Amino acid sequence: MKLQFSRKDAAAALRELKRSGARKVLLSAASSLLAGPEGLAVLREAADFCIERGSALSIAGLAPCFLPGYARYLLAAGAGALPCAHSARCFLAGACTGIPRRHAAVAGLFKPPPRGFTDLEQCMLAILARKSGISTAQVLKAAKGIKICASCSNEGEVFRAAERLIKFGLVSKEYKGGVYLWSKKRD
């Protein structure tokens, strides 16, 4: 199923998505959607709905600065992508393929977001808020019951998310009994 989200018909596209039983969904963002946070909120809601339902999700026409935490679902900007003026200082630079050419008229809207947490990092924090001092295997098992992220499926993803959270001082790790134990640091 392909759905075009524009500022004018974003709510209708969301309703159509929720009524459908589509197992594969391509969401596309029109330039008009980028003009305000309410349009992107509807697109986030649609993406979260697809993730929770287990649909194969792809999002076209956006750079990661508009949807931090959803980079794994974004399609590359494609041939002729415009370079972003802020890429040198953007923490998303490695994940960004540039500004899609069809958004050239609104290229000034593409700006680095404040560093937020990715869905994997949010999931890790939610798991550790429930129980601290757990192994990687226990994190993976707990992630199956949380619908914040859809792909916490291997140890590498747990390690990457946890290492970033360690850098922020939110998580700690301890090597004990041949396994790493992950804990949420207390305030």
Q: Where are the domains of the chain?
A: 2-109, 119-184
C-alpha torsion 111→113→114→115, nearest 10: -130
Please provide the CATH number assigned to the domain covering 119-184. 1.10.10.10
1 against 147, higher pLDDT = 1
Q: What is the mean pLDDT of residues 8-31?
A: 88
Q: What average pLDDT does range 89-105 have in this prediction?
A: 69
Position 107 scores a pLDDT of 66
SS3 readout for 27-73: EEECHHHHHCHHHHHHHHHHHHHHHHHCCEEEEECCCCCCCCCCHHH
Q: Taking residues 155-180, what's their average pLDDT?
A: 86
Percent of the chain with pLDDT over 70: 84
Mean pLDDT for 87-115 is 68
Distances (CA, A) of 142 to 64, 93, 108: 27, 31, 41
Residues facing residue 179 across a β-bridge: 176
Neighbours of 171 (CB within 10 A): 21
State the pLDDT confidence band at 174, using cuts at 50, 70 and 90.
very high
Reported confidence tier of residue 172, pLDDT bands at 50, 70, 90: very high
Mean pLDDT of 45-69: 84
The reported pTM is 0.57
Q: Does pLDDT of 90 surpass 80?
A: no
22-26, 107-111, 181-185: least confident range: 107-111
Residue 112 has pLDDT above 80, yes or no: no
3-state SS, 116-157, equals CCCHHHHHHHHHHHHCCCEEHHHHHHHHCCCCCCCCCCCHHH
* % of residues, the chain, pLDDT over 90: 17
